[in-house]
Chain A
Amino acid sequence: MIQAICYKEWIKTRGAVLLSGVLLAAYAVYAFIHTGQLFRVDGAVATWSGVILKDAFLLPGATRWLPLATGLMVGLAQFVPELTERRLKLTLHLPLPAGRVLSVMLLHGVITLLALYLPVAIALLSGLSAYYPPEITGALAWRALPWFAAGIAAYLFTAWTCVEPSWQQRVKNVLVAAGALPACYVDGPAGSYLPFLPWLVVILAVAFLAPFQAAGRFKEGVQ
């Protein structure tokens, strides 16, 4: 049954996953072109100095928003059909506890996003380690981590909003998500987010729980 749910989720999300994968791969290729250009035009000394003296961010600006966009895209692809075609009613009445069904659906989305993000992150970090020492690539990873966490949180908040049966409440859920997600985008130098990591976990844990509240309301028949 769980395999069947996963297959159903894959059928719904494969288009968005493919598009996200293409976007992320294109982004990674562009990041390498960008880095190569920095070294060719400015030179290694000036590029390293920019990072060390001015805390310059070495990756393209899209790094901030691409994880968020892909999280939203996968979330919408997975849960909008449930919303528009009332499929969720059938899904939550499968011969499995509703909580388990929803958990499988959400874990499918989270694992899909991790499967999209991790190869890109590993490719970037290992590729850039040819240009930069571990201190610089490490700082880069710490700086980008909250943005990737925002992608997963955006996916979970999208699920929360889509599963919610009442339109009025959906608007409120969007407002809450819009209030919570900027916590992943506070400006600071590389490494400034280190004390915030436990709180990122809290945000993700709450975002994971939130769709269960909406599913409960859906099962109650709230309109």
Chain B
Amino acid sequence: MRKKTIHIILLLFITCVAAWALPALVKKATRVPERYPFIYYSSLLRELCIIDYGDDETPLSTLSGEKFSEAQFDSLLPLLNFRQLMADGHLPDSIDGIEITPPLLRSKSVVFRHNPVDTRTPRPRLHVLFESMPRRVGIEMPGDVFRLEDRLEFIDCETNRVDVEKSTRFQQALERRGYRFPARWSSGNPNPRKAYDEGYFSLDASGRLFHLKMVNGKPYVRDTRVSERVEVDAFSVFEAADKRFYGFLFGKQGDIYILEARDGGYHPLKLDIEPFDARRDRLVIMGNLLYWNVSVTTTAGRDYYALRTSTLERVASHHAAHAPGPWERLSRWTFPFYLTFDDPDSAYVYPRLHFTGWRGGIVHLLLALATGFLVPNNRRRRLYHSSYILITGVAGLLALLALPRFITKNPIK
């Protein structure tokens, strides 16, 4: 291969390395986490309130700026602070005419988080199917795991062999209910720290969502028929304390539903929020007896919603705009584009090109001019180096510095 070609390949390679390594270092040195207020809906004030746990005097304030003391904070957010109110003996008997008791409040409590990385990650190919109705308290790890792709197979952990009898039993149960292989995906909650297990929700080859669990050692399979109403993108199983619903269903149109367990069927109930991108946006749900507090973090900022627990209709919303941090401000000027191999929104490793805007072009131009006028070299090389730096910026400058003859009169032969 010609020497010049190798030089150009090395130049491009080192530029890519610099376009990754240098911004990664600067980002590590300057990045601060995004800071958004903690906002919760007050069932007494009937509006969204800002909570600042760092402020001992007035931890609670309304969006309009009215501030409240710590004692008022506990009383005005009784569904958030019920444990504190119980300890102080101030828990009200009822709110909005609904009698409240600590067991009821606990059973209606919902805390759910979704990160984009949960979706953009290599899917586990082996799953754990717990006994959904264990005889003793607590979920126990079974002695086998299963794979659900072209067929369903249980593999015994001790012998590392397929349990043919159990596999056939579950396979036949799926086929009897009309499940079509191969499976597209299966989603369950493999954490054994829960009161009961709802097993797995699996999308079959025809796009239908099935529910699979193990009851008293026997297969329980149901076609949820949800796919007739919603184009299912993903599902997160959530074992709610009150067994109201099976989990959170993400539609391909950006809608989020809970899959309610009613009348022995599966009924999607839509959350009244703006379209949600499960591959980019973060979701936090903190639900209580009366209202669900939903926050959705996007690149533009954070949207807060208060939804009525019974219907999931919106009762209030608020938007906090994203404020660029030091890294974002700096990168706009120094790195109009840069490479990363990892991403907080994805577990996959591959090069991603980020574009931060045209402002950094000024830095490119200044570097190109400085190289053209100040770095000793012949005219042809100066033009070549300046043009390269104009396009590639700091990364290109570092690549040229890393290779020989950046400061020399001898042209490349």
Contact among B13, B14, B122, B191 for A192, CB-based, below 8 A = B122
* Beta-carbon contact of A188 and B402 below 8 Å: no
* Beta-carbon contact of B160 and A132 below 8 Å: yes
Cα of A141 to Cα of B373 in the assembled complex, Å: 52
Given A166-B404, A180-B17, A209-B9, also A189-B121 (CB < 8 A): yes
User: 8 Å CB contacts to B: which residues of A180-223?
Assistant: 180, 182-183, 186-196, 199, 202, 206, 209-210, 212-213, 216-217, 222
Nearest residue, chain B, Cβ from A198: B350
B7, B121, B160 interface centre (most CB from chain A within 10 Å):
B160
Stretch at the interface among B55-63, B76-84, B125-133, B268-276: B125-133
- Measured CB to CB, the closest approach of chain B to A164, in angstroms, equals 9
Instruction: Write out the residue numbers on chain A whose beta carbons fall within 8 Å of the beta carbon of B350.
Output: 195-196, 199
Cα of A7 to Cα of B341 in the assembled complex, Å: 40
- Measured CB to CB, the closest approach of chain A to B150, in angstroms, equals 13
What bracket does the count of chain B residues touching chain A fall in? 35 or more
B3, CB-defined interface residue at 8 Å: yes
- Measured CB to CB, the closest approach of chain B to A151, in angstroms, equals 18
Contact among B6, B7, B122 for A191, CB-based, below 8 A = B122
B124, CB-defined interface residue at 8 Å: yes
SS of B interface (majority): loop
* Beta-carbon contact of B126 and A52 below 8 Å: yes
* Beta-carbon contact of B160 and A179 below 8 Å: no
Given A189-B121, A192-B347, also A206-B9 (CB < 8 A): yes
Nearest residue, chain B, Cβ from A46: B141
Given A131-B160, A176-B402, A186-B342, also A45-B9 (CB < 8 A): no
A44, CB-defined interface residue at 8 Å: yes
* Beta-carbon contact of B14 and A176 below 8 Å: yes
* Beta-carbon contact of B349 and A186 below 8 Å: yes
Nearest residue, chain A, Cβ from B403: A172
Cα of A191 to Cα of B22 in the assembled complex, Å: 27
Cα of A180 to Cα of B124 in the assembled complex, Å: 30
* Beta-carbon contact of B348 and A188 below 8 Å: yes
Contact among B7, B10, B341 for A183, CB-based, below 8 A = B341
B1-33 interface code vs A (CB 8 A; 1 in, 0 out): 101001101100110011011000000000000
Instruction: Write out the residue numbers on chain A whose beta carbons fall within 8 Å of the beta carbon of B14.
Output: 176, 179
Instruction: Write out the residue numbers on chain A whose beta carbons fall within 8 Å of the beta carbon of B165.
Output: none
Instruction: Write out the residue numbers on chain B whose beta carbons fall within 8 Å of the beta carbon of A213.
Output: 3, 6-7, 10
A131-164 interface code vs B (CB 8 A; 1 in, 0 out): 1110110010000000000000000000000000
Contact among A45, A192, A202 for B157, CB-based, below 8 A = A45
* Beta-carbon contact of B145 and A52 below 8 Å: yes
* Beta-carbon contact of B191 and A53 below 8 Å: yes
B325, CB-defined interface residue at 8 Å: no
B190, CB-defined interface residue at 8 Å: yes
Given A46-B141, A52-B126, also A216-B157 (CB < 8 A): no
Cα of A52 to Cα of B123 in the assembled complex, Å: 11
* Beta-carbon contact of B126 and A136 below 8 Å: yes
- Measured CB to CB, the closest approach of chain A to B244, in angstroms, equals 26
* Beta-carbon contact of A192 and B145 below 8 Å: no
Cα of A183 to Cα of B352 in the assembled complex, Å: 13
Instruction: Write out the residue numbers on chain A whose beta carbons fall within 8 Å of the beta carbon of B143.
Output: 44-45
* Beta-carbon contact of A188 and B157 below 8 Å: no
Instruction: Write out the residue numbers on chain B whose beta carbons fall within 8 Å of the beta carbon of A139.
Output: 122, 125
A169, CB-defined interface residue at 8 Å: yes
* Beta-carbon contact of A135 and B126 below 8 Å: yes
B131-168 interface code vs A (CB 8 A; 1 in, 0 out): 00000000001110101000000010110100000000
B351, CB-defined interface residue at 8 Å: yes
* Beta-carbon contact of A52 and B190 below 8 Å: yes
Contact among B21, B128, B160 for A52, CB-based, below 8 A = B128
A4, CB-defined interface residue at 8 Å: no
Nearest residue, chain B, Cβ from A216: B3
* Beta-carbon contact of B348 and A186 below 8 Å: no
Nearest residue, chain B, Cβ from A213: B6
- Measured CB to CB, the closest approach of chain B to A205, in angstroms, equals 9
Cα of A217 to Cα of B412 in the assembled complex, Å: 11
Nearest residue, chain B, Cβ from A55: B124
Instruction: Write out the residue numbers on chain A whose beta carbons fall within 8 Å of the beta carbon of B190.
Output: 52-53
Cα of A123 to Cα of B121 in the assembled complex, Å: 29
User: 8 Å CB contacts to B: which residues of A80-137?
Assistant: 99, 130-133, 135-136
* Beta-carbon contact of B122 and A48 below 8 Å: no
B13, B126, B155, B349 interface centre (most CB from chain A within 10 Å):
B349
Cα of A53 to Cα of B129 in the assembled complex, Å: 12
- Measured CB to CB, the closest approach of chain A to B4, in angstroms, equals 10
Contact among A186, A191, A209 for B341, CB-based, below 8 A = A186
Nearest residue, chain B, Cβ from A177: B17
* Beta-carbon contact of B349 and A195 below 8 Å: yes
Given A179-B17, A196-B349, also A189-B128 (CB < 8 A): no
B1, B143, B401, B402 interface centre (most CB from chain A within 10 Å):
B402
* A-B CB contact pairs (8 Å), 15 listed: A44-B157, A45-B158, A52-B190, A53-B128, A176-B17, A182-B21, A183-B17, A183-B20, A189-B121, A192-B121, A192-B122, A192-B349, A196-B348, A206-B9, A213-B10
Across the A-B interface, give the 9 residue pairs with the lowest CB-CB distance, nearest first: A191-B122, A195-B350, A44-B157, A135-B125, A179-B21, A179-B17, A206-B13, A48-B157, A196-B349
Q: Which residues from chain A sit less than 8 Å from chain B, CB to CB?
A: 44-49, 52-53, 99, 130-133, 135-136, 139, 166, 169, 172-173, 175-176, 179-180, 182-183, 186-196, 199, 202, 206, 209-210, 212-213, 216-217, 222
Given known contacts A131-B160, A179-B17, what 6 new A-B pairs fall within 8 Å (CB)? Answer: A45-B141, A52-B127, A172-B402, A176-B14, A183-B17, A210-B10
